[in-house]
Amino acid sequence: MPFGRQRKEFPSHLWTQCPTCGEMLFNKQLVRNHNVCTKCDHHFRLGARERIELLVDKGSFTEHDTELTSGDPLGFSDQKPYPVRIQQSQAKSGEKDAAICGTAMIDENAVELAVMDFDFMGGSMGSVVGEKLTRAAERALANRTPLLIVSSSGGARMQEGTLSLMQMAKILGALHRLDEAGLPYFSILTDPTTGGVLASFASLGDIIFAEPNALVGFSGARVTSETIGEKLPKGFQRAEFVLEHGFIDQVVPRAQLRDRIAYFLNAFRPSARDLRWSL
């Protein structure tokens, strides 16, 4: 069911109200429009599987590392034990953890694709996300293909403590090797991309795209607001604001995202004379 989250916010199983324009949207139509309001272009969140379907050449996605799941290295328990939380998230989402990775074609370019899943514990990054994203980067390096990561995350996963923090360095180490090898890495920021995810791989794409109005920030707006004890500037931490401040290449509406990525994949593809990708 693609509408796990929206359904909670809007009672009807058939209709969803657009929070921007107030329009009542027929859910089937909304899904057909990739969760974008047909009236005002408000971008609802999109599930990871739907995101993959939106981006890749039909039927070209081969998933990797499907069986990786979390351990409980800290023996962590808050309102409930971490393993229980993981099991419940798995049952609810049907996914093993908060990232789906695989090889795919986009406009006939082979790519490694990693998509974070906000529905799984807020897209939080623990060891599994770190391991899967690192493997995706390593596969891209081994196969000399570009890497795409679609972020959607509240940040690092607290339940794995400092091990979660270390995933930032682990992934950036792999991305550094990709960069040295001259391979392109595309970072796509979707609502929300915050915390340790933004402060690592999400901010260092050769090209950085964001979806309209996506929340893009390091510190929670609440923390930031308390720090200064006053109201934040209009549009603070929204994609368009971050674009103006120089950290995003383009804000791209979802309907154009696939073609836009394809354009740059083709532009960066080495010419016949240039052997650099085909080691």
Partner 1 sequence: MDVVDRLLGKKTTEGNGHLPEDAGLITDAASLTAQRTPWQSVQLARELRRPHSIEVIDGLFEKFQELHGDRGYRDDPAVVGGIAELDGVGPVVVVAQQRGSTTEENIARSFGMPYPEGYRKAIRLYRMAEKFHLPLVTLVDTPGAYPGPEAEERGQAEAIAKSIATMCGLQTPIVAIILGEGGSGGALALAVGDVVLALQNAIYSVISPEGAAAILWRSATEAERAANALKLAASDLLRLGIVDGLIPEPAGGAHTDPQATIGAIKSALIVQLDRLGRIPIADLLAARYERYRHIGVVVEPLPGAVPVAKKEPFWRRIMRPA
Site residues for Zn ion per CB under 5 A? 18, 20-21, 23, 37, 39-40, 42
* Binding partner of residue 195 among partner 1, Zn ion, none, CB cut-off 5 to 8 Å per kind: partner 1
| C-alpha pair distances (Å), 11 with each of 5, 6, 7, 103, 212 | 11, 9, 6, 37, 25
CB neighbour list of residue 2: distance below 8 Å, 6 or more residues apart: 31, 35, 46, 47, 49, 50
Of partner 1, Zn ion, none, which one does residue 228 interact with (CB within 5 to 8 Å by kind)? Answer: partner 1
Write out the H or E segment, with its range, that includes residue 265: helix 254-268
Please report, as residue ranges, which positions from 2 to 61 form the binding site for partner 1 (by CB under 8 A). none
Asked whether position 110 contacts partner 1 by CB under 8 A, the answer is: no
User: Is 172 a binder of partner 1 (CB under 8 A)?
Assistant: yes
Nearest to 128 by CA among 154, 159, 105: 159
From the list 7, 49, 177, 258, which residue makes contact with partner 1 (rule: CB under 8 A)?
A: 177
Residue 63 is a binding residue for partner 1 (CB under 8 A): no
Q: How far is the CB of 19 from partner 1 (least distance, A)?
A: 24
Structure tokens at 87: 């099991």
Which residue in the set 5, 32, 92, 176 belongs to the binding site for partner 1 (CB under 8 A)? 176
Closest alpha carbon to 140 in 104, 106, 108: 104
Least CB distance from residue 243 to Zn ion, whole Å?
21
Round to whole Å and give the CA distance between 38 and 18: 9
Choose, by CB under 8 A, the member of 49, 224, 258, 262 that binds partner 1: 224
Sole binder of partner 1 in the list 1, 59, 246, 278 (CB under 8 A): 246
Q: Is 135 in the site for partner 1 (CB under 8 A)?
A: yes
> Which H helix or E strand runs over 172?
helix 161-180
The site partner of 39 among partner 1, Zn ion, none (C-beta below 5 to 8 Å per kind) is Zn ion
Is residue 161 involved in binding partner 1 (CB under 8 A)?
Answer: yes
Q: Which of 56, 172, 59 is CA-nearest to residue 112?
A: 56
Structure tokens at 34: 């990739």
Q: Which of 4, 19, 94, 173 binds partner 1 (CB under 8 A)?
A: 173
How many chain residues are in contact with partner 1, going by CB under 8 A?
Answer: 86
CA angle 32, 132, 113 (to 5 degrees): 40
Backbone angles phi, psi at 85, to 5 degrees: -60, -45
